[in-house]
Amino acid sequence: MPKIANTKKYTLDNTEDTYAVGLTDLERDAWRLSGERPSGFRTRTIKSGDMLEVECFPYWPTKYAMGRAPKTKASRDAQFKLNNKNAIKNVIRLANTNFTKQDIWITVTYAEGRLPASAKAAVTEANKYLRKIKSYIKKHNLPELKYLMVTEWCDDEKKGKVRVHHHILMNLADRDIPEKLWHGGERVQSRRLQPDEHGFEGLGRYITKSKNGTRRYTGSRNLKKPSITHSDYKLTKSRAEKIARGSISAQDYFEKENKHHKYIDHKTFISDYVSGCYIYARMRRRD
């Protein structure tokens, strides 16, 4: 691998996308780490409300860092998929961080004569709607509005035309308020938020599910961001290999390291072109 400027550590931070090959039981038994051994394992912990995600991945001495690959159509497509995957993760984490089962989510659509001309115009219309809700809240001395909105749009006949609509999570208890204030001339469907074992992951994936067209998400400025921490000392190379092979219980390890959270599941990945492994675990705060 080509050398780069002298720094202490180098890490491939695309994690799961770098380690795309999942381990089968047979592969786990026969697996051997190949190539230049990593210097250590970095642990990234993401706390989003009751949910906790843990990512463990290797870093190497700088001299083994890989240079940037030339831009190709394949790399652009891969980057698009990565951006899309990251956007879905961001929506899920923001939802888990900022909303509870006391809040609501609504889906609003437009009547035929009021359809926006573009995705940008649709977001503009939605922002007008949100300002009306903010005015109502201020007038009635309600808590400041928090919202997370996903707009879906597609006008490509080959991909299948999608009628523009918005999914919006709000910290409102009264569902009548957003239903009465919608100005799009079409129906409003509102529901109480219902987290499951994975918090709002199912909902986040649902409202970002479309494979076609444009999806944009935006949120109020008062949304809290997930808490993300890093450590290069929690996990040794040896222990990471044993967890990946299954000789150390992933549940026991992660619950010991995160005493206030209950283990849900984990995945382990290896790569055809990078040594080491990537471990991803999901946990939930104990009741």
Q: Give the separation between CA 146 and CA 165, rounded to whole angstroms.
A: 19
- Could you tell me the pLDDT band of residue 241, with boundaries at 50, 70 and 90? confident
Nearest Cα to 235, choosing from 41, 30, 35, 55?
41
Kindly tell me the sign of the dihedral angle through the C-alpha atoms of 191, 192, 193, 197: negative
58, part of any domain: yes
Structure tokens that stand for 157 in this block? 């006949």
- Can you give the CATH number for the domain in which 187 is found? 3.30.70
Q: Give the separation between CA 163 and CA 32, rounded to whole angstroms.
A: 51
115, part of any domain: yes
One domain, residues 159 and 179: yes
One domain, residues 60 and 14: yes
223, part of any domain: no
201, part of any domain: no
| pLDDT tens digits, one per residue of 53-106 | 999 988 776 554 444 445 555 556 666 677 778 888 999 999 999 999 999 999
* pLDDT score, position 114: 85
One domain, residues 57 and 128: no
Q: Which of 58-67, 202-211, 242-251 has the lowest mean pLDDT?
A: 58-67
One domain, residues 88 and 116: no
Residue 137, SS3 per DSSP: helix
| Total structural domains within the chain | 2
Average pLDDT over residues 238-242: 88
| Better pLDDT: 175 or 212 | 175
Domain boundary among 148, 176, 194: 194
Q: Give the separation between CA 10 and CA 2, rounded to whole angstroms.
A: 13
One domain, residues 117 and 177: yes
Q: Which of 6-10, 118-122, 153-157, 206-210 has the lowest mean pLDDT?
A: 6-10
One domain, residues 111 and 89: no
One domain, residues 170 and 106: yes
3, part of any domain: no
Q: Which amino acid is at 134?
A: K
CA distance readout (Å), 141 to 59, 138, 145, 148, 173: 51, 5, 11, 21, 14
Q: Which of 22-31, 89-98, 105-114, 224-233 has the lowest mean pLDDT?
A: 22-31
Mean pLDDT of the chain: 81
One domain, residues 128 and 177: yes
* pLDDT score, position 6: 30
One domain, residues 87 and 143: no
* pLDDT score, position 91: 94
The residue range of the domain holding 157 is 102-194
- Could you tell me the pLDDT band of residue 185, with boundaries at 50, 70 and 90? confident
Domain boundary among 142, 176, 194: 194
Domain boundary among 194, 211, 237: 194
Q: Which amino acid is at 86?
A: N
213, part of any domain: no
pLDDT surpasses 80 at 112? yes
Residue 143, SS3 per DSSP: coil
* pLDDT score, position 85: 82
Average pLDDT over residues 127-140: 95
pTM comes to 0.82
Buried b (16+ CB within 10 A) or exposed e, 18-46: bbeeebeeeeeeebebeeeebbbbbbbbb
Kindly tell me the sign of the dihedral angle through the C-alpha atoms of 225, 99, 14, 286: positive
* pLDDT score, position 48: 97
Q: Which of 8-17, 47-56, 86-95, 131-140 has the lowest mean pLDDT?
A: 8-17
One domain, residues 70 and 42: yes
